[in-house]
Amino acid sequence: MKPHFSHLTPEQQKTFGNGCGLYSKWLRVPQFAFKASCRHHDFLYVVGGGIKDKIYADWHFFVAMVYDAKDSKRPVFYTLMAILYLLGVTIFGVFAFHWSTQYRTLAEILEYDRLKKEINGII
């Protein structure tokens, strides 16, 4: 069974991944209003799969960011940022996505997240 973000506890959802950008305390992109959207996107990338899964993850991310932008004080600016983020993950996400014929289990996903944070000194 493919794990879903909803399988995480609310606390795990708030802290999963690193938000927007890489698992690195040195190289970060601006979080803007997209922090929750980024964490969900991180989760989908760690779950992995094939090209359809990556396309779904990126598109779901974009739709969530546009929704966040709509509710912000600067919707046009944030919508433009959402487009830039979509371009970024479409192009550079191929290196971060877990390409596999099998999805990771929830335990594997949580362990991967813990290890990446530990290695990068985030926790």
pTM value > 0.85 = yes
Residue 119 has a pLDDT of: 85
Task: List, for residues 90-121, the tens digit of each pLDDT value.
Answer: 999 999 999 999 999 999 999 999 998 888 77
Tell me the per-residue pLDDT of 16-64, one tens digit each, with 9 for 90 and over: 988 787 665 665 666 667 778 889 999 999 999 999 999 999 999 999 9
Of 96, 89, 87, 85, nearest in space to 23 by CA: 96
CB distance 78 to 68 below 8 Å:
yes
- pLDDT (tens digit, 9 = 90+) per residue, 58-88? 999 999 999 989 988 999 999 999 999 999 9
Q: How far apart, in whole angstroms, are the C-alpha atoms of residue 89 and residue 4?
A: 20
